[in-house]
Amino acid sequence: DIQMTQSPSSLSASVGDRVTITCRASQRISSYLNWYQQKSGKAPELLIYGTSSLKSGVPSRFSGSGSGTEFILTISSLQPEDFATYYCQQTYSTPLTFGGGTRVEFK
């Protein structure tokens, strides 16, 4: 199974901050890496697929990059509605696996 490791597990930030979240895969997964946002008590929502493609309707302050085994989600200027938990997921092979999540909290 491919293990996905996210860091940090949580972070505190202020509105307007630039935030980066890293996701590392235990083996190369090409670009089969997705990012989801989950707000408290809600279902996850797709933000970015295929490492760097933004889902339609997702604000352009979100971006994704990386390749191979290391991937990054960047929020260029954190907004109040961005406080949530973020998960990366690999779909390179089954079982489809997620990182442990990164909780973005208000500083």
Partner 1 sequence: EVQLVESGGGLVQPGRSLRLPCAGSGFTFGNFALSWYRQAPGKGLEWVGFIRSKAYGGSAEYAASLEGRFSISRDDSNSIAYLQMNSLKAEDTAVYYCTRQITIFGVAMYMDVWGKGTTVIVSS
d(CA 102, CA 104): 6
Residues that bind partner 1 (CB under 8 A): 32, 34, 36, 38, 42-46, 49-50, 55, 87, 89, 91, 94-101
Tell me whether residue 17 or residue 100 sits nearer to partner 1 (CB atom).
100
What's the closest the beta carbon of residue 21 comes to partner 1, in angstroms?
Answer: 14
Tell me whether residue 32 or residue 83 sits nearer to partner 1 (CB atom).
32
Q: How far is CA 19 from CA 56, 63, 80, 96, in A?
A: 21, 11, 13, 26
What are the b/e assignments for 59-68, b being 16+ CB within 10 Å? eeebbbebee
Tell me whether residue 33 or residue 78 sits nearer to partner 1 (CB atom).
33
What's the closest the beta carbon of residue 14 comes to partner 1, in angstroms?
Answer: 26
